[in-house]
Amino acid sequence: MATALAKPTSPPQMGDALAALENLLGDRLSTAMAVREQHGTDISYHPAAPPDAVAFAESAEEVAEIVKICSRFAIPIIPYGTGTSLEGHIAAPLGGLCIDVSNMNKIVDVHTEDLDAVVQPGVTRKTLNTHLRDTGLFFPIDPGADASLGGMASTRASGTNAVRYGTMRENVLALQVVTADGRIMRTGGRSRKSSAGYDLTRLFVGSEGTLGIITEVTLRLYGIPEKIAAAMCSFENLEGAVNTVIQTIQMGIPIARIELMDDLQMHMLNKYAKLGYPEKNLLLMEFHGTEAGVKEQAEMVQDIASENGGGNFEWTTDAEERNKLWQARHDVAWANKEDRPGWGFWATDVCVPISRLADVILETKADVVKEDLRAPVLGHVGDGNFHMTIMVKPDDPEYLKKVEAANDRLIERALAAGGTCTGEHGIGIGKVKYLQAEHGDSVQLMQDIKRALDPQNIMNPTKIFGPSTGPRLHS
Amino acid sequence: MATALAKPTSPPQMGDALAALENLLGDRLSTAMAVREQHGTDISYHPAAPPDAVAFAESAEEVAEIVKICSRFAIPIIPYGTGTSLEGHIAAPLGGLCIDVSNMNKIVDVHTEDLDAVVQPGVTRKTLNTHLRDTGLFFPIDPGADASLGGMASTRASGTNAVRYGTMRENVLALQVVTADGRIMRTGGRSRKSSAGYDLTRLFVGSEGTLGIITEVTLRLYGIPEKIAAAMCSFENLEGAVNTVIQTIQMGIPIARIELMDDLQMHMLNKYAKLGYPEKNLLLMEFHGTEAGVKEQAEMVQDIASENGGGNFEWTTDAEERNKLWQARHDVAWANKEDRPGWGFWATDVCVPISRLADVILETKADVVKEDLRAPVLGHVGDGNFHMTIMVKPDDPEYLKKVEAANDRLIERALAAGGTCTGEHGIGIGKVKYLQAEHGDSVQLMQDIKRALDPQNIMNPTKIFGPSTGPRLHS
């Protein structure tokens, strides 16, 4: 959707930097407009903003050399993995250099006994899981897109499996990073836990490229469960679905996935995929364990669901049946895209304490109905995280404003409930204004850290904090 | 054991600060020597170092006022919970003010549906669990001592349940902190996950009071399992025990506790508690789940253990039997204490990738035998974390040096294996010299952050980084 190119602003010393970079990289430095445009364009509603050039890096040492040149000439640096950001993380509104790490795609090491893997940042999650197939292990974090693991670490991504396996916060053991002055550093070792000093790993996870560039990621792996069961269940009332989730978690049932689609989402899905599911609130679930374990889990959740008004509970361990159930979940993006051909979408991403989830969804649904917006709901409800996908009429700035205002009110509601403006997409340029509302004075602590580690503000400037953070590069 | 009081060094403006503090706190400020000595003395081999005064704070607002006074007069601040540190965290080698938060012991809120609790920092873990009893929920982190939850957050504590429930890193949702300039800030909300800005929560967790004072902790809770089973099993060879752990985790068996005691530890335990356990390597385990689930888990682990040479596998869901089994684990501290009356102990705390655990333990055991040291092993082996308790002859500096040298070699071994010098005790003053060895240049990033958030270096100075960090207060 991001088509309108923002007017590029080149840093004053870009020419000198390009000469030095070309010397270092040869034809792995590109200034071709098509390459620049592609690298400044994510999959969101945010306007594209191409960098002045794109460097295709091949090693941490090379990234360090590139960063040293950019540091010398005060050139903004924007890291790039697969370009699947939803909040403008890869836009270059101040120009500068995009460092594309997609060629840094080696799986460096898999330690099967320790259940960890060391990968370069350009490796995608699907590539890693394909590589792991014969080991009996897998990496669970699944944000939908086949994102790069460096990018997923940078935005603290999660997705459908987080209710059981956690997010990138819990599953990155350590990082190798290149700092803003071009030093290569490690944030930790491979032990499962450590109390040795500040948690630099967690500081870099979710820092969206504003503190350094991730050049290696050490990840936790898990044994592929002996059995996987999928289940679905429909609810007339949203509260019933959410209460089912609350009670399931409270009872300690180790559910692996629990996803919500609301009535409108189910309607759009039925229409797109020619299915006949009830157009009610649907919970789609997955259980991991032994044969007896998944059966017991599914039956316990079935009992909970039926006490909460759930009907049509179906569960299966058959792989084909299971894939069919989950196909519905995967088709959502296409169903939404085809619902209004030519329209775009605004991906909201609040996350709230689960006791407040039903209220926040219901109030928001009432709000968008009142505003005559089309906005299906899809939720990682085990985490209290849901996405309302607000459809956006093309080439209609007034309509976009109406959508933005609805998102503003949704975020106000989430913050009032003790939640967050973004559960998994990150701040980027899209949620800068909400950061202050959410964190208040503690944004100053974040900015103190940013200034300490990147005094020139060259690492992905404008992201997280907006244009006003730290010493400006140029006006 | 810490008896020799280090000569106190008072900050130059201590007198002015005390006048202002007395005005604020009245008789909740103490300069009595007995109170100061108690507050500068932990349970380790580190020499005690009393502060110049102790403030008994009652609210975050009061902590903020105290910190503002200390900031104005450049007075070191040492936070104090229960004094159960093992690495000299509460020593005051530069003098200054101890802020005792043990009276900040309110359980502010328990959100049963959201499975979280908000507590003041002086609440201990046992007090919290007693309070939770009727809710069906519990807080799992168990470092042995009945430590304060503020202190546990500060050292990134863990203990026996970490293999299933994680450490304080995973179980602190958010903090309220008072910064070095006396501002009260929140590091996050109550949602399960967030991608909104830097992870300040994880930065403060494990920062050992060097970045600010924790004045409120929001913790994750869990449903008390329907059934709990305990099991034990003996192994002739340490490798067999460790391989049992590796395979258990690789198979995804959600074991809740898996603790190792070596042959010497079992011998000392038998002697102390007049028990007849085999004096071999013992695994002590706990399973949480449904009736059928814990049975299935125990039987699977029994199969794994027997393939790895484990014998005498016993398991039970009977609460009395279970308590009897765990009594052995709890008696270890007393058994070690009584083994050599009058001796002290040096608590080591390395954590390594689990594939290297057997090697590191065996090499270290050979080393201490060669040095004629007495050093039983107790391990949270599911995490790769073990404590070798090296007995220390009293009033014998040469002997202490020999123990220190053995610990040095143990840590070298752990670091070479990709591990950490401290799995759960923290750096304090005891492991400053190993921080650089473990983290190399990235210690500079930690120091940059420390300087950015505490430019005067008044927050628990000398801890983590030693005396040379940041602008010195006085020489």
- Using the Cβ of B166 and the Cβ atoms of chain A, whether some distance falls under 8 Å is answered with yes
- Using the Cβ of B114 and the Cβ atoms of chain A, whether some distance falls under 8 Å is answered with yes
The structural domains of chain B, with segments of one domain joined by +, span: 14-102, 107-223, 227-416
Select from B194, B251, B384 the Cβ nearest to the Cβ of A420: B194
- B227-416 topology per CATH: Vanillyl-alcohol Oxidase; Chain A, domain 3 (3.40.462)
| Phi and psi at residue A358, to the nearest 5° | -60, -45
Specify the pLDDT at position A329.
86
pLDDT tens digits along B435-462: 999 999 999 999 999 999 999 999 999 9
Instruction: Count residue pairs from A and B with Cβ separation < 8 A.
Output: 289
| More confident position, A48 or A422 | A422
Interatomic CA distance for residues B304 and B292, integer angstroms: 18
CB contact (8 A) between residue B439 and residue A167: no
Task: Give A406's contacts (C-beta < 8 A, 6+ positions apart).
Answer: A364, A367, A368, A371, A373, A375, A390
Average pLDDT over residues A328-351: 92
Say if strands B53-56 and B29-30 run parallel, antiparallel, or are unpaired: antiparallel
CB contact (8 A) between residue B445 and residue A199: no
Which residues does chain B have within 8 Å of residue A427's beta carbon, measured at their own beta carbons? 195-197
To test the contact with chain A by mutation, choose from B427, B445, B459, B464 the residue with the greatest count of A C-beta atoms within 10 A, namely B445
Binding-face residues of A in 6-65 toward B, CB within 8 A: none
Nearest to A182 by CA among A75, A339, A272: A75
Q: What is the CATH number of domain A340-461?
A: 3.30.70.2740
Average pLDDT over residues A94-102: 97
Q: What is the CATH number of domain B14-102?
A: 3.30.43.10
Specify the pLDDT at position A8.
58
Place of tokens 């449904």: B290
Percent of chain B past pLDDT 70, that is, above it, reads: 97
Scanning every residue of chain A, which has its alpha carbon at the shortest distance from the alpha carbon of B181? A445
CA distance A306 to chain B (A): 19
Nearest to A14 by CA among A63, A93, A70: A70
- Using the Cβ of A445 and the Cβ atoms of chain B, whether some distance falls under 8 Å is answered with yes
| More confident position, A264 or A48 | A264
Which residues does chain A have within 8 Å of residue B419's beta carbon, measured at their own beta carbons? 189-191
* CB burial string A155-167: b at 16+ within 10 A, e below: bbbbbbbbbbbbb
Binding-face residues of A in 326-355 toward B, CB within 8 A: 349, 351-355
pLDDT tens digits along A178-221: 999 999 999 999 999 999 999 999 999 999 999 999 999 999 99
- Using the Cβ of B292 and the Cβ atoms of chain A, whether some distance falls under 8 Å is answered with yes
CB contact (8 A) between residue B192 and residue A451: no
To test the contact with chain B by mutation, choose from A193, A204, A218, A227 the residue with the greatest count of B C-beta atoms within 10 A, namely A193
CB contact (8 A) between residue B185 and residue A223: no
pLDDT at residue A471 is higher than 50: no
Dig out the tokens for A325 from the structure. Answer: 């159930």
Binding-face residues of A in 209-248 toward B, CB within 8 A: 222-223, 225-226, 246
CB contact (8 A) between residue B198 and residue A206: yes
CB contact (8 A) between residue B438 and residue A189: yes
CA distance B23 to chain A (A): 29
Question: Quick check: do A225-332 and A340-461 share a fold?
Answer: yes
Which residues does chain A have within 8 Å of residue B383's beta carbon, measured at their own beta carbons? 191-193
Specify the pLDDT at position B370.
97
**pTM score over 0.90:** yes
pLDDT at residue A470 is higher than 70: no
Specify the pLDDT at position A350.
98
Mean residue pLDDT of chain A comes to 94
Select from B252, B384, B441 the Cβ nearest to the Cβ of A192: B384
Q: In DSSP terms, which residues pair with A78 in a beta bridge?
A: A98
CATH 3.30.70.2190 assigned to domain A225-332? The reply is: yes
- Using the Cβ of B250 and the Cβ atoms of chain A, whether some distance falls under 8 Å is answered with yes
Specify the pLDDT at position A88.
94
Q: What is the CATH number of domain A107-223?
A: 3.30.465.10
Scanning every residue of chain B, which has its alpha carbon at the shortest distance from the alpha carbon of A421? B196
Which residues does chain B have within 8 Å of residue A424's beta carbon, measured at their own beta carbons? 193, 195
Q: What is the mean pLDDT of each run of 10 residues along chain B (475 residues)?
A: 55 96 98 97 88 98 98 98 95 97 98 97 98 96 95 97 97 98 97 98 98 98 95 96 94 94 96 93 96 96 97 92 88 91 93 96 97 96 96 94 97 98 97 96 97 98 83 39
Select from B193, B351, B450 the Cβ nearest to the Cβ of A383: B193
Interatomic CA distance for residues A32 and B221, integer angstroms: 54
* Long-range pairs for B338-343: beta carbons < 8 A, 24 or more residues apart: B338/B272, B339/B268, B339/B271, B339/B272, B339/B374, B339/B391, B340/B374, B340/B391, B340/B393, B342/B394, B343/B391, B343/B392, B343/B393, B343/B394
ipTM attached to this prediction: 0.96
Sign, CA dihedral B218-B222-B223-B226, equals negative
Select from B183, B195, B351 the Cβ nearest to the Cβ of A423: B195
CB contact (8 A) between residue B193 and residue A169: yes
Select from A114, A205, A449 the Cβ nearest to the Cβ of B354: A114
- Using the Cβ of B157 and the Cβ atoms of chain A, whether some distance falls under 8 Å is answered with yes
What number of CA atoms fall less than 13 Å from residue B296's CA on the CB side? Answer: 16
Compute CA A233 distance to the chain's CA centroid, rounded to the nearest angstrom.
27
- Using the Cβ of A427 and the Cβ atoms of chain B, whether some distance falls under 8 Å is answered with yes
